[in-house]
Amino acid sequence: MPGLLLGDIFPDFEADTTIGKIRFHEFLGDQWGVLFSHPRDYTPVCTTELGRAAKLAPEFKKRNVRMIALSIDAVPDHLGWSKDINSYNCEEPTETLPFPIIADPKRDLAIKLGMLDPDEKDNDGMPVTARCVFIIGPDKKMKLSLLYPATTGRNFDEILRVVDSLQLTAYNNVATPVDWKPGDRVMVPPNVPEAEASKMFPCGVFTKELPSGKKYLRYTAQPK
Ligand code: BEZ
């Protein structure tokens, strides 16, 4: 059965978190959202990931993105673990991170959102959560999902980079090419007819000549 698909309304749910009970859609308000899950508290890879996420939190805030993590342990564990994460970041070992962590001890959400990693089990033989990332737009629709196994840590700079691409392409009819970074040139999407491209992109369109003779590889400057 397919799980959540791009364009689906992301499920609303109630959850206990390190900042108290939340309703997810209310938590997001009219902002973008990024929900990232972790296998367990007090584990090494997760600690490095949450440390990096905390360092990048001001960048997500600048982009109007609310961050929220999830792990299958309970709130008191999350609070204790947050001290370790802050200490790993060479900061005061407080219980506060710049984003809440959802507690999912019964794995209700992990099951609902298709987050379990069947290859990674805890000491009781129960599967732990994989490393999922869901990016949700202000319309509450899912814009992007990533699913990594527990043994492979994610790259949070890449998550920020895709937020930049998602926001740019949500508000402008352009696409971003391989390894694109903000400020690089972007691509004119295939659905823009040749006759309209130069009107749509007055700063110019460069079309790369290709052996097929087809004029589909078109660059333009990144819109402001
Ligand atoms: C970790 O976060 O270090 C981890 C968690 C589960 C399996 C493997 C690694």
Ligand 1 near 152 CB (within 6 A): no
Could you report the per-residue pLDDT of 79-92, keeping only the tens digit for each? 999 999 999 999 99
Structure confidence at residue 124 (pLDDT): 87
Q: What percent of the chain stands above pLDDT 90?
A: 89
Structure confidence at residue 127 (pLDDT): 87
Cα of 56 from ligand 1 centre, angstroms: 21
Structure confidence at residue 116 (pLDDT): 87
pLDDT at 1 over 70: no
Ligand 1 near 48 CB (within 6 A): no
Show the domains of the chain with their CATH numbers: 14-154 (3.40.30.10), 172-224 (3.30.1020.10)
Structure confidence at residue 117 (pLDDT): 83
Structure confidence at residue 82 (pLDDT): 98
Q: What percent of the chain stands above pLDDT 70?
A: 99
Cα of 114 from ligand 1 centre, angstroms: 18
Closest residue to atom 9 of ligand 1, CA basis: 151
Could you report the per-residue pLDDT of 95-133, keeping only the tens digit for each? 999 999 999 999 999 999 999 888 888 888 888 889 999
Structure confidence at residue 205 (pLDDT): 97
Exposure string over 161-196, b if 16+ CB within 10 A, otherwise e: bbbbbbbbbeeeebebeeebeeeeebbbeeebeeee
Closest alpha carbon to 152 in 29, 48, 55: 48
pLDDT band at 2 (very low <50, low <70, confident <90, very high): low
Structure confidence at residue 44 (pLDDT): 97
Supply the mean pLDDT for the chain.
95
Structure confidence at residue 118 (pLDDT): 82
pLDDT at 41 over 90: yes
Ligand 1 near 45 CB (within 6 A): yes
Could you report the per-residue pLDDT of 161-215, keeping only the tens digit for each? 999 999 999 999 999 999 999 999 999 999 999 999 999 999 999 999 999 999 9
3-state secondary structure of 192: coil
Cα of 85 from ligand 1 centre, angstroms: 15
Structure confidence at residue 101 (pLDDT): 98
3-state secondary structure of 11: coil
Ligand 1 near 31 CB (within 6 A): no
Phi-psi region of 151 (alpha: psi -120 to 50; beta: other; left: phi over 0): alpha
Is the pTM higher than 0.85? The answer reads yes
When pLDDT is averaged across residues 32-36 and rounded to a whole number, the result is 98
Atom of ligand 1 nearest to the CA of 40: 5
Structure confidence at residue 128 (pLDDT): 86
pLDDT at 36 over 80: yes
Active site residues per annotation = 46
Q: From CA 38, how far away is CA 70, in angstroms rounded?
A: 6
Structure confidence at residue 121 (pLDDT): 87
The residue type at 139: D
